[in-house]
Amino acid sequence: MMSNAVANFTAAPHWLIEGRPRLQRPETAVIVGAGPSLDEALATLHRIRDRVVLFSGGTALRPLLRNGLVPDFHCELENVPVVADVIKEAGKYGDLSQIRLIASATVDPRVPPMFRESFFFFRDSVSSSMLLADDLRVLQGAAPTCVNTAMAAAISLGFTEIALFGTDCGMRVGGQDHASGTIYGAGGIAKARDNFPIEVEGNFGGIARTDWVYDACRRMLGEAIKVYGLSPINCSDGALIPGARPVVPDAVEIDGPAVDRDALVRDLKHALIAFEPAEILRDRDFSTMIDDTKDLYRELREILDGFKSEDTDFAGVYRAVREFLGEAHEKFREADSMSNGTLFALPRIGMFYGYRVEAGETRRAVFDVFMRETREIIDQMEKETLDLFERLGEQAAQSAIAPAA
């Protein structure tokens, strides 16, 4: 995530979407997911296309382009390399250079150049945001799916009139799991989920089936609707989204003139922050990150050195590391964010298994192995983190002084 963010921030001019209130927009934002009900909504989307602002979420891009619907904004969340492959394949069906990208700063750096221009945002609770965002606000509610990203972005850009299509957040019993023409269909390049163990109320009644990711998606959509006092319509035939009013696609009517898209983008940009390559990193001191990282691991080693094998105090190690990490965010200026999860997990694993070994010589031997392996992992994490910060610092510095193209 750190490597991707620095690469994206240094590659080209970009805009930043922050999670802060904006002036309300009069247009209707249509958010499209890749749920199976999208197939039945395509005619409606064609009918209202000129009077709405169209946001595609993740894998919805391909079926939209295949059916002649070019989004105004395409939204991506994840940093995995397959995202670039999926978008490249979708580009066979439409001109991506007409579309503006809204993406987490951690998106694969191959993705932004495919689009007309990029609007990045900082995800919450990830290391790159903690270390690079500084006073810039994260975009809340942008996870766990690209539909959530589209919703969070639309709200942040000032849209209050919102319609949801293909945001099934699951599937109807006996139905498809995704829209036709997605990467999950016949000949697609990705495997769909095949287990939907959770039953929830359907958008138009009855039962829909979902899993923990899609259920979290619909719950997060519901929270955004509640927090921002929205009244969106949900034209998807899947799981009920709390606070969204069910409306069949054929009944959707959008009043008003065709959207002036050039004027819309100009207005939106007035409320955003424009950055030249590497400009957002100008005040990010990677040398300080390196010093803080060294201090963090030095103090952590001193804590671990206080435990002796004869004590076999797995719980003591856990408590000490937990207390240490509780103060690390402020003490080491977020340097712990690169390894916090692993550092917290290691003593929990040791405690869980260590106390299931018979007390005595065997438990002492297990404790010794646990402490030795923990120190080796810590050494590796420190080295890799320091190497990363040094490389990224050099990359940011070189980009800052490079002449404009």
Cα–Cα distance for residue pair 230/221, rounded to 1 Å? 11
pLDDT of the residue at 21: 77
Helix residue ranges per DSSP H, 137-285: 146-156, 212-227, 261-270
pLDDT of the residue at 194: 62
The residues spanned by each domain of the chain are 2-279, 285-401
Cα–Cα distance for residue pair 178/189, rounded to 1 Å? 14
pTM of the model: 0.92
Give the burial string for 96-107 (b: 16+ CB within 10 Å, else e): beebbbbbbbbb
Asked whether the CA dihedral 330, 332, 337, 343 is positive or negative, the reply is negative
Cα–Cα distance for residue pair 276/45, rounded to 1 Å? 36
Which residues of the chain fall short of a pLDDT of 50? 186, 405
pLDDT of the residue at 323: 97
Cα–Cα distance for residue pair 16/275, rounded to 1 Å? 8
> Read out DSSP for 73-126?
EEEE----THHHHHHHHHGGGS-GGGSEEEEETTS-TTSGGGSSEEEEEPPTTS
Shortest CA distance to 235 belongs to which of 160, 135, 296, 164?
164
The phi and psi torsions of 168 (rounded to 5 degrees) equal -70, -25
Cα–Cα distance for residue pair 199/37, rounded to 1 Å? 18
Cα–Cα distance for residue pair 2/6, rounded to 1 Å? 6
